[in-house]
């Protein structure tokens, strides 16, 4: 028990500190936090540098991209408890939308972005509506199949490049004097960071309101959720669609940076890795998931100087971590609240109802 | 005054070879406290499951306010005005007591995901109303001080009471209570009886499954008795209490004694 207390202390202290803070302190803390992340590409610290690969590139991909995708998948897996093993499909749909429209039409990145998100969402609805009636294992298998199907379809359609994929994807037009080129990943990173912040903001709003309660209920006991009036299928499809939207946005941005895509980039490994980020960070806990994804994406780059053995080192580190903290780095744990206004009423039957 | 709120007509429910309900006719009048009793395995919980859409009856009709409930989704049944508790407590253990209740109160909100993201006025209004309703019901059930505690951390009795609060939060016309006094001591039972009366007096109709005879005799207006899936009695408590078939069902057939 004492061990348990010690484990959760840091996070609880941080949360307490935040809750006790006046508004001005929260705002200034948030601003400095956000500013730090916008300035991150300029930080030249030997601790976080990535010898062997360009630090600024690493920030965009894999780190930033994994964080974004993990936040999206966490809505599905963490909040609503739906095991999705084909999440990469939505990322692929976003990327292919950018690639196809970018090379065949005069639409630019900003015009394609909403289309890519919309297409990912539509495929989320199409996949989700029939399959989300299934439970647990079945859903996992169907989504796994979907992820593979999207990739295999891309391989087999010559019109979209078949196994060779699509090259020559245009970069986004300049934005506020920032030029998007293959040589400079910073503007991409800033756009990605902006997406991520926006999504964090949305997820937090949903979590504290009706959708969050519905997802909590569904995850804990689907039958009872229904009997308490939750339209469970609707909220599951929403979770799926929101997750798809996030991955779709990520895919569009990714394709516009990498300039050429091939179907094999969107294989099962990506789905599994994103899921690993979520589990490693702490299923259901937004901050845990962000931290988990950042660490999982960053560590292999940080130890790239080890060359081949790095994957082994990384794997061992993962196994050790998951043994030490089976619920993730920052596990989801609701804190209890006591409000002095909630006076103690000893006996049942006090108060009135209408 | 004797308007039928809920009516089961010739309901049969078979699970493979087991006939849990056999041609059961049952009704609940508006504004009453009706009780459903019977030995273990008689089919009482199955009645609740058939009414709330957990099971689709093998045959028969289930009507609520003269509308058929058969084939409706569970959440639709709840929206129409039927809420229940569970014999084996099924709270959302990882959610706070208040969240549990507000989840029920959400039934009447129209705003969903989009409203929550954009913080539309309607969403804010409905959130505030749902939380207020939740607090009101926690207070009514004597659980206000538990509002911020997780469901799984509440003492046993409070968990049972929280289930009632959560069901009430959906503003049901009909409240189905499955053994709400199970595991209660006599004092708690008396308090619960008073609470159930208060709920009825506030305009709700109650159908109650219970094993405690004195509680049943104390608060119910009408008692139906199930035995091996068949209804064997349905009358005011006094009459049912002295019905030889009921006594037989509870004590075993006289033939068994010999
Ligand atoms: N899902 C199911 N599958 C198979 N049999 C079931 C199912 N649900 C109920 N039964 C059977 O139906 C019969 C009635 O069960 P039910 O739970 O309704 O009894 P009950 O009157 O509520 O009993 P208790 O007082 O023990 O709660 C029992 O024989 C039970 O085993
Ligand atoms: Mg029962």
DSSP for residue B16: T
End-to-end CA distance of chain B: 47
Beta carbon of B39 within 6 Å of any ligand 1 atom: no
Rounded-to-integer distance, Cα A332 and Cα B95, Å: 12
Contact B57, B50 (CB under 8 A): yes
For chains A and B, CB pairs below 8 A equal 158
Mean pLDDT, each 10-residue run in order, chain B (258 residues): 89 95 96 96 96 96 96 96 97 95 95 92 95 94 93 96 97 97 94 96 96 92 95 94 88 54
The token pair at A57 is 């590139």
pLDDT of residue A347: 45
pLDDT of residue B183: 93
Hey, are the CB atoms on A224 and B99 less than 8 Å from each other?
no
The token pair at A56 is 């600024």
The token pair at A120 is 């990912």
**Chosen from B92, B184, B196, B202 to mutate, greatest number of chain A CBs within 10 A:** B92
B53: left (phi over 0), alpha (psi -120 to 50) or beta: left
Rounded-to-integer distance, Cα B232 and Cα B42, Å: 11
Which is it for the CA torsion B93, B94, B95, B97, positive or negative? positive
pTM: 0.91
User: Taking a contact as any Cβ pair under 8 Å apart, which residues of chain B between 157 and 176 contact chain A?
Assistant: 161, 166-168, 170
Cis peptide leading into residue A112 (ω within 30°): no
Beta-carbon contacts of residue A174 (< 8 Å; ≥ 6 apart): A180
3-state SS assignment for residue B81:
coil
Q: How far is CA B61 from the centre of its chain?
A: 19
Hey, are the CB atoms on B145 and A344 less than 8 Å from each other?
yes
Residue A242 with chain B: CB contacts under 8 Å: 113
pLDDT of residue A354: 64
Q: How many angstroms separate the CA of residue B117 from the nearest CA in chain A?
A: 5
Chain A residue with the nearest C-alpha to that of B119? A205
Which residues are paired to B4 by β-bridges? B29
3-state SS assignment for residue B76:
helix
Which residues are paired to B59 by β-bridges? B12
Could you say which residues of chain A have pLDDT below 70?
1-11, 46-48, 50, 52, 304-307, 309-310, 338-354
The token pair at A353 is 């109802």
Chain A residue with the nearest C-alpha to that of B163? A228
Protein residue with least CA distance to atom 14, ligand 1: B43
Q: Indicate which atom in ligand 1 lies nearest the CA of residue B229.
A: 14
Rounded-to-integer distance, Cα A169 and Cα A150, Å: 20
For residue A137, give the nearest of A82, A208, A212, A61 by alpha carbon. Answer: A82
Contact A309, B117 (CB under 8 A): no
The token pair at A210 is 């009706």
Which is it for the CA torsion B51, B55, B56, B59, positive or negative? negative
pLDDT of residue B181: 95
Hey, are the CB atoms on B86 and A224 less than 8 Å from each other?
yes
Name the residue among A213, A336, A346 with its Cβ closest to that of B106: A213
Q: Given CB atoms, is B119 within the 8 Å cutoff of chain A?
A: yes
Beta-carbon contacts of residue A291 (< 8 Å; ≥ 6 apart): A281, A329, A330
pLDDT of residue B152: 95
Contacts 24+ apart (CB under 8 A), A144-147: A144/A85, A144/A86, A144/A268, A144/A271, A145/A86, A146/A86, A146/A89, A147/A85, A147/A86, A147/A87, A147/A88, A147/A89, A147/A266, A147/A268, A147/A271
Beta carbon of B22 within 6 Å of any ligand 1 atom: no
User: Taking a contact as any Cβ pair under 8 Å apart, which residues of chain B between 216 and 255 contact chain A?
Assistant: none
> What torsion, rounded to 10 degrees, do the Cα atoms A107, A111, A116, A121 define?
-140
Beta carbon of B19 within 6 Å of any ligand 1 atom: no
pLDDT of residue A310: 67
Hey, are the CB atoms on A348 and B192 less than 8 Å from each other?
yes
Rounded-to-integer distance, Cα A174 and Cα B16, Å: 68
pLDDT of residue A314: 73
Protein residue with least CA distance to atom 19, ligand 1: B41
Hey, are the CB atoms on B142 and A227 less than 8 Å from each other?
no
Rounded-to-integer distance, Cα A336 and Cα A3, Å: 19
Name the residue among A205, A217, A342 with its Cβ closest to that of B103: A217
Protein residue with least CA distance to atom 4, ligand 1: B15
End-to-end CA distance of chain A: 43
Hey, are the CB atoms on B191 and A354 less than 8 Å from each other?
no
> What torsion, rounded to 10 degrees, do the Cα atoms B145, B150, B152, B153 define?
-50
Q: Given CB atoms, is B126 within the 8 Å cutoff of chain A?
A: yes
Residue B57, φ and ψ in degrees, nearest 5:
-65, 150
Rounded-to-integer distance, Cα B135 and Cα B146, Å: 10
Hey, are the CB atoms on B145 and A213 less than 8 Å from each other?
no
Helix orientation angle between A232-258 and A65-74, rounded to the nearest 10 degrees:
170
Chain A residue with the nearest C-alpha to that of B110? A210
What's the count of helices (H) and strands (E) in chain B, helices before strands? 11, 10
ipTM of the complex: 0.94
Rounded-to-integer distance, Cα B190 and Cα B200, Å: 16
Contact B162, B91 (CB under 8 A): yes
Contact B63, B39 (CB under 8 A): no
């Amino acid at each position: 028990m004492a061990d348990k207390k010690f484990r959760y202390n840091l996070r609880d202290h941080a949360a307490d500190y935040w809750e006790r803070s006046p508004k001005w302190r929260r705002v200034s803390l948030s601003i400095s936090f956000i500013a730090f992340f916008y300035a991150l590409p300029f930080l030249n610290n030997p601790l976080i540098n990535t010898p062997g690969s360009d630090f600024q590139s690493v920030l965009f991909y894999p780190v930033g991209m994994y964080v974004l995708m993990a936040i999206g998948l966490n809505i599905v897996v963490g909040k609503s408890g739906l095991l999705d093993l084909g999440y990469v499909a939505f990322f692929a749909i976003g990327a292919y939308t950018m690639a196809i429209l970018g090379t065949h039409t005069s639409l630019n990145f900003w015009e394609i972005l909403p289309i890519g998100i919309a297409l990912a969402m539509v495929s989320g609805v199409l996949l989700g509506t029939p399959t989300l009636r299934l439970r647990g294992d079945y859903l996992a298998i169907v989504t796994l199949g979907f992820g593979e199907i999207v990739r295999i379809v891309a391989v087999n359609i010559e019109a979209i490049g078949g196994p060779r994929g699509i090259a020559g994807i245009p970069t986004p037009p300049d934005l506020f004097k920032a030029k998007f080129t293959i040589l400079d990943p910073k503007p991409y990173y800033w756009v990605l960071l902006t997406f991520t912040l926006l999504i964090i903001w949305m997820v937090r709003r949903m979590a504290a309101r009706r959708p969050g309660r519905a997802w909590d209920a569904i995850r804990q006991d689907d039958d009872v959720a229904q009997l308490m009036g939750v339209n469970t299928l609707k909220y599951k499809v929403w979770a799926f669609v929101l997750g798809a939207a996030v991955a779709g946005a990520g895919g569009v941005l990714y394709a516009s940076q990498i300039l050429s895509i091939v179907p094999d980039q969107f294989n099962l490994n990506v789905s599994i890795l994103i899921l690993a980020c979520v589990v490693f960070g702490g299923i259901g806990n937004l901050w845990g998931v962000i931290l988990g994804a950042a660490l999982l994406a960053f560590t292999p780059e940080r130890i790239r100087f080890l060359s081949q053995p790095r994957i082994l080192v990384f794997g061992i580190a993962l196994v050790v971590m998951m043994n030490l903290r089976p619920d993730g780095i920052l596990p989801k744990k609701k804190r209890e609240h006591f409000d002095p206004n909630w006076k103690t009423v000893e006996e049942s039957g006090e108060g009135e109802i209408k | 005054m004797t308007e039928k709120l809920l009516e089961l007509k010739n309901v049969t429910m078979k699970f493979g070879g087991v006939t849990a309900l056999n041609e059961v006719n049952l009704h609940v009048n508006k504004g009453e406290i009706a009780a459903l009793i019977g030995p273990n395995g008689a089919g009482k919980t199955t009645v609740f499951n058939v009414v709330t859409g957990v099971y689709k009856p093998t045959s028969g009709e289930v009507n609520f306010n003269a509308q058929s409930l058969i084939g409706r989704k569970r959440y639709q049944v709840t929206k129409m005005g039927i809420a229940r508790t569970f014999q084996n407590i099924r709270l959302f253990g990882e959610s706070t007591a208040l969240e549990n209740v507000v989840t029920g109160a959400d039934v009447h909100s129209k705003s969903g995901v989009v409203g929550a993201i954009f913080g539309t006025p309607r969403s804010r209004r409905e959130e505030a109303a749902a939380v207020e309703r939740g607090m009101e019901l926690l207070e009514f059930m004597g659980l206000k001080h538990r509002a911020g505690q997780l469901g799984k951390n509440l003492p046993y009795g409070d968990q049972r009471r929280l289930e009632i609060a959560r069901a009430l939060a959906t503003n049901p016309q009909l409240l189905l209570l499955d053994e709400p006094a199970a595991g209660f001591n006599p004092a708690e039972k008396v308090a619960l009886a008073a609470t159930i009366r208060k709920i009825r007096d506030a305009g709700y109709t109650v159908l109650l499954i219970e094993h405690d005879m004195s509680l049943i005799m104390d608060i119910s207006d009408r008692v139906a008795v199930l035995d091996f899936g068949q209804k064997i009695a349905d009358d005011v408590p006094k009459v049912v209490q002295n019905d030889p078939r009921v006594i037989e069902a509870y004590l075993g057939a006289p033939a068994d004694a010999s």
